[in-house]
């Protein structure tokens, strides 16, 4: 049996890159090598080479391209998850086909999606480094299972950069309810389960799921086909309507606003907040300001603390707030940070959240 090589330093995350583009492999390697806690174990130009290397190397995380010659990434992913489950991050192009297949890969067991890096401005590469390295760290915390069937220190801004804290609470002149939800790693499947349990007359839902641009539309379209309610990628000015869920576009912040009794969303550019764009903190703070006690906030599975402070602001404004419990989280990070701040009114298993919300209306 071949000897399997592992780093002698237990807290180093070992990564394998599988991509047919030498340029992408090199760019990813440069981004990963900038982090002290991440080590590039090996690379492969296609799944066939990867299979042979997996006989020798045991990576903690695999970064996998979808569109490759000889064997595509989806086929390899299915085989991997059935035989030797390892956390997989999909590295995909922004094409319509690439986006659709990347979302399908999440159902096959992949834990996250990143957009293929490209040579660009210093700011673009720096933000790519944050996103990709954080995705690797989050994936390393995921305990993947065999699938039985298809299913440097960065600047960290708070939500202040997008929406200042009000000196006083905004007056509430409507009784319409809205549901604000934030999720990251593991959130695609969590949101699917949650939204499929909502009836057609449920309050309007606004969602931030950490995901690159161009992929959120494919994600929303896929959810729309499986849910009773309407699910769509949000556009600036969209009304928050009963029986509709709006998902923040990748690489854009989404804020809740109100005009009279009408709630709507503002979709806009801005800096990374809590290392993310879209940011859950931005969504939750705006919900606290413009919906207050008429809102319900839900923080779901994900790494880091994005949304924890925003959920506390929602609770302090009179909203009912829910944190997903540890047992049902893929990564118990964001909910854990919310619980540490006492930002939650209750902590629930994923499968009970929708029903509990409906009982509170």
Residues classed as catalytic? 184, 210, 306
**Terminal Cα distance for the chain, rounded:** 60
Distance (Å, rounded) from C-alpha 285 to C-alpha 219? Answer: 24
Residue with tokens 């499929």: 196
- For 15, 67, 94, 216, 307, the CA distances from 98, given in Å and listed in that order, are 22, 7, 6, 12, 29
Count of C-beta atoms within a 10 Å radius of residue 218 = 21
- Residue 337 — φ and ψ, nearest 5°? -65, -35
* Residue-by-residue DSSP string for 92-120: E-SSHHHHHHHHHHHHTT--EEEEPP-S-
Distance (Å, rounded) from C-alpha 292 to C-alpha 347? Answer: 20
Closest-CA residue to 94 (of 124, 117, 120, 77): 117
**Helix pair angle (122-140, 22-32), 10° resolution:** 80
Is the CB of residue 339 less than 8 Å from the CB of residue 308? no
> What residues have CB less than 8 Å from 307, skipping those under 6 apart?
182, 208, 274, 279, 280, 281, 283, 284, 299, 334, 338
> What residues have CB less than 8 Å from 52, skipping those under 6 apart?
none
């Amino acid at each position: 049996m071949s000897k399997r090589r592992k780093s002698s330093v237990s807290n180093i995350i070992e990564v394998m890159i599988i991509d047919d583009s030498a340029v992408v492999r090199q760019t990813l390697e440069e981004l990963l090598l900038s982090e002290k806690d991440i080590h590039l174990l090996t690379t492969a130009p296609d799944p066939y080479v990867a299979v042979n290397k997996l006989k020798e190397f045991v990576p903690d995380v695999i970064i996998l391209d979808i569109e490759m010659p000889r064997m595509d990434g989806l086929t390899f992913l299915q085989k991997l998850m059935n035989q030797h489950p390892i956390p997989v991050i999909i590295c995909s192009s922004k094409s319509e086909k690439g986006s659709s297949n990347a979302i399908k890969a999440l159902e096959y067991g992949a834990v996250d999606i990143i957009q293929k890096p490209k040579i660009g401005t210093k700011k673009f590469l720096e933000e790519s480094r944050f996103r990709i390295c954080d995705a690797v760290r989050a994936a390393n915390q995921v305990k993947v299972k065999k699938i039985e069937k298809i299913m440097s220190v960065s600047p960290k801004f708070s939500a202040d950069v997008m929406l200042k804290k009000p000196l006083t609470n905004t007056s509430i002149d409507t009784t319409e309810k809205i549901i604000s939800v934030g999720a990251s790693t593991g959130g695609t499947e969590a949101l699917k389960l949650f939204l499929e349990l909502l009836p057609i007359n449920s309050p309007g839902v606004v969602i931030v799921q950490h995901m690159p641009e161009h992929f959120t539309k494919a994600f929303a379209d896929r959810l729309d086909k499986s849910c009773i309610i309407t699910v769509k990628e949000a556009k600036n000015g969209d009304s928050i309507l009963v029986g509709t869920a709006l998902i923040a576009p990748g690489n854009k912040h989404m804020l809740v606003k109100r005009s009279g009794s009408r709630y709507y969303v503002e979709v806009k550019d801005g800096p990374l907040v809590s290392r993310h764009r879209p940011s859950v903190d931005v969504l939750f703070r705006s919900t606290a300001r413009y919906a207050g006690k008429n809102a319900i906030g839900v923080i779901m599975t994900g790494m880091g603390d994005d949304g924890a402070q925003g959920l506390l602001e929602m609770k302090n404004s009179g909203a009912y707030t829910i944190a997903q419990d540890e047992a049902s989280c893929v990564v118990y990070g964001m909910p854990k940070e919310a619980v540490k701040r006492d930002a939650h009114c209750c902590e629930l298993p994923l499968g009970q959240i929708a029903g509990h919300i409906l009982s509170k209306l």
